[in-house]
Structure 1
Amino acid sequence: MQIQSSAPPTPPTSPLNWVQKNLFSTWYNSILTIVCLAVIIWGLSNFISWALTAAQWGVVGANLRLFFVGRFPPELYWRVWTALGLIIGLAGLCWGYIVRNSPIFSRTILFVLGVMIAAIVLLPLELSARLWILAIAIIAIVGYAVGRKLPTSISPWLTPAWGLVFIVNVWLIGGGLGLASVPTNVWSGLLLTLLTAICGIVLSFPFGVLLALGRQSPLPIVRILSILYIEVVRGLPLIGILFLAQVMLPLFLPPNFRNLDRVLRAIAGLVLFSAAYLAENIRGGLQAIPRGQYEAAKALGLSSPLVVLLIVLPQALKAVIPAIVGQFIGLFKDTSLLALFGLLELTGISRSILAQPQFLGRYAEVYLFIGLLYWLFCYGMSTASRYLERKLNVSN
């Protein structure tokens, strides 16, 4: 009979014991705790007093449209709402599929529903916008309920579904193929930030994987070119690469493509920059795979490409999930540099709002609001990363 080993039980710790052990264990720790608490309370009280009495939050309420969709034509807002509904609906479907064995009302679902209800009730929105948010909330609930009932055989189709939704959303926002075209010079605000960040993430990831594999390739030409690209790009600042993408990239293209759109140039700069850093993160994961994994796969008769695709690469990506998501978060925040090139993403549209005479000097309110938006999306990616790590047992 085999006896399974288990860790010894840990005695429960009361909150009072935890505070005494971690905050007041010695006299100098007690003094440091008291000083830190005093500074935190003083800072919070001053901030709350300013936010409730002195701050003029009307600048945010009056410019919500500019913050979110910028100069996008108001008569075409239905396209943006439809694109958002597709994303939220598919996200609810996938989330329901992932947590189908957990209680139906998880904390995440309740939090999302609470945010939507708060947006409907608290934000100074028109009736049409409130109805759209309500419809999207219903779509999210239906998608979540359907996802919990899906069979496991549906899993291979979820990733292509995201690709299809992305293509449809780009078509809805940009127009063409039956829809009136919307020029990219009116894509602005959070809409442009999300579009450039998502395109940069989606395109830089496979490019980074190829560079990481190329750096470890036995072919000297491939390895040298990969190393040269990675080291050159990592030695340049992002702002320099974005300048090169805006000014120099058209010179390397055929004459028919030299009038490349500014948004596409910006995405190209973000992709070229992020791929080099992703390649090094993924290379660290490749080096963490024991040599025995290669030998065992070879012994089973797998060819070198199959060894990489089926054995090595999945384990390497699993090991560097925190680093990859950290790079994605950095890329999302780096989109703020596009304001230097006349692209009115979230930061750029904020500067345009602050240039209006009636909103001069309202820097704190505006930048706190866009900072909150940046934090919400970055925290969402971080939360998804931690959940994925737990799901894949990365620590094991």
Structure 2
Amino acid sequence: MNMHNVSWVRQDIMAASPRPSGEGSALTWAKRNLFNGWLSTTLTMASALAVTCMAMAIAPWLAHSVWHANSLAECRQILDGTPGACWGVIRDRWPQLLFGFYPSPLYWRPVLAFALLFTALAPILFRAVPQRALWFSVVYPGFAYWLIWGGSLWFPVAIYCCFVVAAAIFALTARFSRGLAAALSVLAAAIWSIHAVQPVSALATDILPIALAPVASREIGGFLLSITIGVTGIALSLPLGILLALGRRSSLPLIHLLSVTFIEFIRGVPLITLLFTASLLLNYFLPPGTNFDLILRVVIMVTLFASAYMAEVIRGGLAALPRGQYEAAEALGLDYWKAQRLVILPQALKISIPGIVNSFIGLFKDTTLVMFIGLLDPIALAAAIRANTDWQGIYWELFIFIGAVFFVFCFSMSRYSMYLERRLKTDHR
């Protein structure tokens, strides 16, 4: 026998064989996932029984829903003793739940601001949108403020000039020292915000008056208030959290100490305490006669609270990176900020996506706590509606509607995080 003719590797390609019968069918899937052993079968049967009982209890209540009614008494009269949901309260009070006491002739302004929010987020969230549209994402916050609160258009423009002044100072002084340039930029921005915003805005208004009817913060409520606080807190807490995470890992003792102190203090205090501080105590530390809007104070406190938690989430992503990534950035000759921007942070943020989105969802739901300081969020408005004589005694319909709206927003964030994880997945396991 000639051993040189023995082939240990197949020389021809095997013909494709048909899939086994029953493989991939619904019955096979159910057997593998729902009835795989006695424990799985027991849990499946118990779950099916619980869902069936719940559906049998809720279905008649939903089947006899009443939408056209102006009071709970009218609903009960239509139902005539039959159990049923009185959705007439939603039909009657949905503008109040959405906008609070915002003037009804001006509803177009928050609706337009909310519609433009998706336009501003599109180039940030989706790769297919042209990146040159990012200029609108930058302009949008000031434009949305002007639409919702009204007043002179030149006020948000003057605030934007604060960032222009800071960028100009940084560009002029960065050649000497980046640290000094950053400090001078912050100082210039603070001076402009305190001493120049109001005069510049008033002067521009006198020259070219462009203004909308002003709306007081006490008239803003409902989901408009929750979305405003939630979106602003989410947008600001991520960059602040990144800076705090980097500061906590910094080798500079002062920056490290300040970051650790801030994070541990904020994380050790309940959010409701910070909200009471914003509502009651903050005015004692401001100059007499200072008019500091309550919603702005709440946004600041919510942002600081979320930033501390965000910093720990991102720090976990930074700690998960192998040391070789830092060494590779150093080997490429990158300075600290270029290494963080091009090598370290993209990988750390990718690892931290589930924790970041979880923090965002928690922050958005925590906006309901503002009811304890007198702001009219959807929960507070539901209590006010239930106190009205027309709807006194109604309960489930209001809270089911509010919960459903919150679920839509939170579920959308969760699904986007899953899409982002799939888009950024670079391994093929």
Q: Please give the TM-score of this superposition, normalised by the length of structure 1.
A: 0.79
**Does 2:258 correspond to 1:225?**
yes
How big is the shift at 1:92?
6.6
How big is the shift at 1:72?
0.6
Q: Secondary structure at the match of 1:50?
A: helix
Q: Is the 8 A contact 1:94 1:158 kept in 2?
A: no
Distance change >3 Å, CA 70–CA 35, structure 1 → 2: same
How big is the shift at 1:93?
7.5
Please tell me whether Structure 1 or Structure 2 has the larger radius of gyration of its CA atoms: 2
State the alpha-carbon separation in 1 of the partners of residues 252 and 269 from structure 2.
26
Match for residue 205 of structure 1? Answer: 238
Structure 1 gap segments, 5+ residues each: 1-8, 100-146, 148-153
1:74-115 deviation per Cα after TM superposition (whole angstroms, max 9, x unaligned): 1112212322332345567778x645xxxxxxxxxxxxxxxx
Q: Which amino acid aligns with 2:236?
A: L
Distance change >3 Å, CA 94–CA 331, structure 1 → 2: closer
Match for residue 182 of structure 1? Answer: 215
Identity of aligned residues (%): 41
Equivalenced residue count is 332
Distance change >3 Å, CA 233–CA 40, structure 1 → 2: same
Match for residue 142 of structure 2? Answer: 167
**Does 2:95 correspond to 1:65?**
yes
Match for residue 271 of structure 1? Answer: 303
Q: Is the 8 A contact 1:217 1:223 kept in 2?
A: yes
How big is the shift at 1:284?
0.6
1:36-68 deviation per Cα after TM superposition (whole angstroms, max 9, x unaligned): 211111101211211222111101110110111
Q: Secondary structure at the match of 2:212?
A: coil
Match for residue 102 of structure 1? Answer: none
Match for residue 333 of structure 1? Answer: 365
Pairwise CA RMSD of aligned residues?
2.2
Distance change >3 Å, CA 256–CA 203, structure 1 → 2: farther
Q: Is the 8 A contact 1:212 1:282 kept in 2?
A: yes
Q: Is the 8 A contact 1:318 1:394 kept in 2?
A: no
Q: Which amino acid aligns with 2:92?
A: A
Q: Which amino acid aligns with 2:284?
A: L
Q: Which has the higher contact order (CA 8 A, sep 6+)?
A: 1
Q: Is the 8 A contact 1:67 1:350 kept in 2?
A: yes
Distance change >3 Å, CA 331–CA 394, structure 1 → 2: farther
State which of 341, 344, 352 in structure 2 corresponds to 1:309: 341
Q: Please give the TM-score of this superposition, normalised by the length of structure 2.
A: 0.73
Structure 2 gap segments, 5+ residues each: 1-16, 65-83, 153-210
Q: Is the 8 A contact 1:246 1:262 kept in 2?
A: yes
Pairwise mapping of residues 273-292 of structure 1 onto structure 2 (< 5 A)? 273-292=305-324
Q: Is the 8 A contact 2:34 2:41 kept in 1?
A: yes
State which of 268, 271, 274 in structure 2 corresponds to 1:238: 271
**Does 2:114 correspond to 1:84?**
yes
State the alpha-carbon separation in 1 of the partners of residues 296 and 409 from structure 2.
22
Q: Is the 8 A contact 2:365 2:406 kept in 1?
A: yes
1:213-253 deviation per Cα after TM superposition (whole angstroms, max 9, x unaligned): 11001011111121111112111111112112222223333
Q: Is the 8 A contact 2:237 2:304 kept in 1?
A: yes
